[in-house]
Structure 1
Amino acid sequence: MVALPLACSAPADRAAAPPGPASADTTDSPALEPMDTTAASVADAQSDTLKAVRVRHLFSSPSSPDLFQLVLRGDSLLSSEATFSITAADGTVIFRESLSSADLEAAMVYEMKTPGATRQEREAYLRRRMDEFFAERNFRKPAVRPNDTFQPNTTDRATWDDLRRRPDAIGFEYKVGKEDGRRIAWSPLKKQVVRYASFGG
């Protein structure tokens, strides 16, 4: 899946900061307002929210944690759409991406011990995948480590070099599908969230 455009407005005076304790909230039936989007969505905005995971973690500000959310909407767990978003403390949505339930489920193939999986097993994996999406191990500090190499297909050199010079910059990594690993961070240079590296595949 291709990431949707990032929010145009950027919170003022944001800088990367060391991660603090993350507070998680995982619910199966939360009352959430439909998120605005700039692209057609597979899920009806009025359909039920099937599952939502929320974590607050320092990311774009040195003192105020951002709200990381993964919200799954649709008719059933295995045929739904998830919205991954990051909202700054001032309410600005600084990142938004749509993922299908298949994107979240695909990596199950690496854990399967038999050729197929039951619907119940697939749903259980999808729920677990969502619960672990914002695990502390997926946040990186610094965002760019000393042995990391520049990947020109993800961002420009100036942005990457700027992140590399910031030991307190925080990166977040997640996987889409089976092997599409993505690393994102708040770029003080661009005043927006950027994808600065890939992994896996």
Structure 2
Amino acid sequence: MLTRYCTFPLLVALLAACSSPTTDRTTSAPAASDSSDAAPVEPMDTAAASVAHATSDTLKAVRKRRLFSSPTAPDLFQLVLRGDSLLSSEATFSITAADGTVIFREALSSADLEAAMVYEMKKPGATKAEREAYIRRRMDEFFADKNFRTPAIGPQESYQPGTVDRAVWDDLRRRTGVVAFQYLVGKEDGRRIAWSPLRKQVVRYGSFGG
């Protein structure tokens, strides 16, 4: 009989001991969450792939492979227009090396692609269909062969302050095999870019138009 009465306190003690680990796990959870929230945010990598991966909003895309950053392995040049309509959308111009590294990326608006249309208009105003057709044509011609040139800098060309530093420009001028690409933004903002072996990156070394 004595044993039977003594088992009740012992049972209570055992239940209390079994419940204590659950209490510890509950109190430790917020500490783990606080540690995660306090972790520093890494700076944005502007050369990383775009966060927009959906294809449903892709209105038009043009692609071309050309030798650019390497003398043997062609890079992939892409111009992808995304948005709700051709006239109010954003185009991403990117260059991807053969190993998959994005070495250049720039965002252009549909207005940037359409602006030069004023030089071709024979009458005031343009219909929506005409404007859309012009943007499609601009994209189709964006990577035309005439926009690539070798050498990047001709012997008679002069250094343009405000683009790249003089040391990089002089290095590009000495290298006769460097491939350059030029493109127009807006009405008159012509840009010339090339891969700089000195800097190991794409640089804007000149301008045209304007």
TM-score (norm 2): 0.76
Q: Which has the larger radius of gyration?
A: 2
Matches within 5 A, 1:4-153: 7=47, 35-36=49-50, 46=54, 48-153=57-162
Unaligned runs of 5+ in 1: 9-34, 38-43
Q: Please give the secondary structure, in 1, of the residue aligned with 2:192.
A: strand
Give 2:209's aligned amino acid.
Answer: G
- Displacement, 1:88? 0.1
Identity %: 76
Supply the distance in 2 between the matched residues of 1:45 and 1:90 (Cα, whole angstroms): 20
Secondary structure in 1 matching 2:83: strand
Equivalent position SS for 1:115: coil
Point out which structure has higher relative CO (alpha carbons under 8 A, 6+ apart): 1
How far apart, CA to CA, are the structure 2 residues paired with 1:89 and 1:168? 18
Contact 1:77 1:101 in 2 (8 A): yes
2:183 & 2:61 partners in 1: Cα distance?
A: 16
Aligned-residue offset at 1:6: 5.9
Structure 1 partner of 2:30: none
Give 2:177's match in structure 1, choosing from 163, 168, 171. Answer: 168
- Structure holding more helix per residue: 2
Over 6 Å off, 4+ runs = none
C-alpha deviations, 1:60-83, integer Å up to 9, x for none?
Answer: 001100000000000000000000
Q: Helix, strand or coil: the match of 2:63?
A: strand
RMSD between aligned alpha carbons?
Answer: 1.7
